[in-house]
Amino acid sequence: MRAILCILTLLCLSACQPTRPVTQAPVPALIPLPVSVTPAAESFTLRDGDAIAAHGAAATEVARRFADLLAQTRGLRLREVDARAAVIEFVVDPTLAVAGAATPQALDEAYELRIDAHKIVLTARTPHGLFDGSMTLWQWLTAQTAKARAIRVPGVRIADYPRFAWRGLMLDSARHFQSPEFVKKFIAEMARHKLDVLHWHLTDDQGWRIQIKKYPELASIGAWRTPASLHGGAPRYGGLYTQDDIRDIVRYAAQRFVAIVPEIEMPGHAQAAIAAYPQFGVTGKRPAVSPDWGVHTYLYNVDDATFSFLEDVLGEVMDLFPGTYIHIGGDEAAKDQWQASAQVQQRMRELGVADANALQGYFTARIGKFLAAHGRRLIGWDEILEGGVPADATVMSWQGEAGGIAAAREGHDVVMAPSPLMYFDHVQSTLHDEPPGRPDVVSLADVYAYEPVPHALDEAQARHVLGAQANLWTEYMDTPQRVEHAAFPRAAALAEVLWSPPTRRDWQGFLARLPEQFARYRLFGIAYADSVFAPRVEALGAGASLRRNSDELRSCNPGGGLPLRLPGPALGGGEAVYRVDIFDPCWIYPQVDLDKLGAVDVVVAERPYNFQLWHDADKVVLRKPAAPGGELLVYRDACKGDALVRVPLAQAANIGGVAQLHVALPSDHGTHDLCFAFGRASVNPLWMIDTVQLQPR
């Protein structure tokens, strides 16, 4: 009976509704989803040579940019005409009322898009809103991406506005440098997602990337490093954005309503600057621009000459970047050098500051005052809270949500960028073909489920949350493709989190819209990640596979250590990715039947140990080798005690840093874990395991 009812219901659903034309154009997939989409019965056909009109200079510029984008992507050219005759009209109307748009950011960007059988009218309160709406219209016209002489789309009325004003991505151009062309491509893609803040990480220990005319050695010295290598000879690596490059990028971003927030790190993450101008460091010694990743100890000094230097730098930065916010970093300022310096200690007594954290507070306050005097606002990572922070400073919460919660409660504006969810250097899946990076997965679904307003905040405090951003730290993103792979489509999920009302969020609906989004990425050659749709093939049944790669082996410190997926040489040439705990490199092949095991073939590789671990350095485990040049160690059960076998690595080290070792094992009984580790006299080189293949007796 139930089945019959079901069938009847289905029949009725298709038969009892008003008939629709069978040629109805499919509803295009929009990301981020607008606040309200009301389909209309009719459809509209846009033809090559149709007319577009805009009212006023700002609207005309948005309309031209839209027409260019449409011509580039669909091959269909629009004619610009004066109002009436046009089939597309772009209008800025400051009195536009969009239902539900009440907050300043919602009002600023609210727009309405109407498409009926004869006309497309896009209206917004501001040019920014008009641009947002033009991106929605472009998506509406790119449900298919083939070039066309005519595009037929469903009629619709869209009313829309953003949930948050700060919809950001952070690009780290210090660890790896991206070309100005790439930065512009990245900005254009952000804009198509309605992401409107590019936080640009321009200075760090490993490179200074912005030309400062008063201090040319920031370019000639600070922008270049000698990469870590085991045997020397690595060519210098680096790059710099000239002031002309930056002006061009800022202009390009402004045309797409993307604000750029430049970050000049202080007082830590300053080694490249101090390599160029050691007099502004604490020790007076000149370090190298660092080839290492991690927490470094070079800090700026706190004397007046150093502040003059920083103010000169910020002066040139403010001339280049017209936006409100200047990011001064403030994170991971290891205070060892300040504590060890008699001069700094003397200065602290003169200033009456109690400790090193308070000295960072003095530092932040002094820079904040300078920025405020120039009409700008200071933003910094959440450590700026530790030593006291100017009342009008904005805090970027990265150490989870705690900094953001504390700051909002103190009345500071907050941008949420919590690790790990907003750290897009994490891999996106457990697939072995993920690129190098942090191995704890931040999947597309994880990002889509992110809620930027911490539950701990009350309504008034929550209003301090300006929005959120994801951070693209580029230690392991050494190519533009790797940056794009990390960014997209997770940035699409983030865009929907930050733009659309939470009640509209719908993971299945988002997934259904993704294939169209991917087709749009392909129009621009974006190397997006498709891991969310990748089939996963798993071997079923015991003994199905006797080979495990480093992602499939277990660490001997599950949940501990500092696991990374690192690039290294591949057997047979090219690059392979090795999962390794850089505190204690050890891998477990679980539950091996030793009665049947005769040998193991282990692919091992070496790479430079280029990590600065600060106080974590004492967590590094070194297992004593019996042979010079190190050994592969194989243990039964836990990774300690007497090794079953020790295999000298000198031979492997001599053949390009990667080798397959055939390791015969003594006869044994029972089912046991096998642990693989390395005996080494020092951290360098870092030996890693790619695969372990069991060879039955």
- Positions marked active-site: 204, 269, 332
Minimum distance from residue 170 beta carbon to ligand ACM (Å): 9
Give the containing element (helix H, strand E) for 8.
helix 2-15
* Nearest CB to ligand ACM, comparing residues 398 and 510: 398
- Termini Cα distance of the chain: 62
Q: In what order do the strands lie in the sheet with 547-549?
A: 547-549, 686-696, 597-607, 658-664
* Nearest CB to ligand ACM, comparing residues 62 and 334: 334
Minimum distance from residue 321 beta carbon to ligand ACM (Å): 20
Task: Report the distance separating Cα 689 and Cα 417, nearest Å.
Answer: 33
Minimum distance from residue 398 beta carbon to ligand ACM (Å): 4
* Nearest CB to ligand ACM, comparing residues 37 and 466: 466
Chain length of the chain: 697
Task: Report the distance separating Cα 354 and Cα 251, nearest Å.
Answer: 44
Burial class of residue 651 in the structure, from the number of CB atoms within 10 Å of its CB (0-12 exposed, 13-18 middle, 19+ buried): exposed
* Nearest CB to ligand ACM, comparing residues 294 and 567: 294
Are 379 and 261 within 8 A, CB to CB?
A: yes
Tokens of 253: 């971003």
Task: Report the distance separating Cα 693 and Cα 672, nearest Å.
Answer: 16
Minimum distance from residue 494 beta carbon to ligand ACM (Å): 17
* Nearest CB to ligand ACM, comparing residues 217 and 331: 331
Angle between helices 356-373 and 304-320 (to 10 degrees): 40
* Nearest CB to ligand ACM, comparing residues 172 and 516: 172
Give the containing element (helix H, strand E) for 11.
helix 2-15
- Interface ranges with ligand ACM (CB under 6 A): 331-332, 381, 398
| CB neighbourhood size of 508 (10 A) | 7
Task: Report the distance separating Cα 584 and Cα 621, nearest Å.
Answer: 5
Residue 4's contacts (CB-CB under 8 Å, 6 or more residues apart) are none
Minimum distance from residue 428 beta carbon to ligand ACM (Å): 19
- How far are the Cα atoms of 246, 600, 604 from residue 652, in angstroms, in the given order? 46, 16, 8
Task: Report the distance separating Cα 89 and Cα 119, nearest Å.
Answer: 8
Phi, psi of 199 (to 5 degrees): -90, 115
* Nearest CB to ligand ACM, comparing residues 224 and 424: 424
* Nearest CB to ligand ACM, comparing residues 197 and 221: 197
* Nearest CB to ligand ACM, comparing residues 436 and 625: 436
Tokens of 313: 């730098």
Minimum distance from residue 248 beta carbon to ligand ACM (Å): 28
Minimum distance from residue 476 beta carbon to ligand ACM (Å): 14
Letter for the amino acid at 311?
E
Minimum distance from residue 404 beta carbon to ligand ACM (Å): 13
DSSP 281: B
Task: Report the distance separating Cα 366 and Cα 246, nearest Å.
Answer: 26
* Nearest CB to ligand ACM, comparing residues 394 and 500: 394
Tokens of 214: 């008063």
Task: Report the distance separating Cα 528 and Cα 486, nearest Å.
Answer: 8
Minimum distance from residue 295 beta carbon to ligand ACM (Å): 8
* Nearest CB to ligand ACM, comparing residues 28 and 418: 418
Letter for the amino acid at 440?
D
Task: Report the distance separating Cα 303 and Cα 423, nearest Å.
Answer: 35
Give the containing element (helix H, strand E) for 7.
helix 2-15
Which 3-state string (H, E, C) describes 541-593?
CCCCCCEEECCCCEECCCCCCCEEEEEEECCCCCEEEEEEECCCCEEEEEEEE
Minimum distance from residue 617 beta carbon to ligand ACM (Å): 18
When CB distances to ligand ACM are compared, the closest residue is 331
Minimum distance from residue 332 beta carbon to ligand ACM (Å): 5
Task: Report the distance separating Cα 234 and Cα 578, nearest Å.
Answer: 21
Task: Report the distance separating Cα 260 and Cα 59, nearest Å.
Answer: 22
Give the containing element (helix H, strand E) for 108.
helix 104-109
Strand partners, 676: 587, 634
Tokens of 483: 């940056």
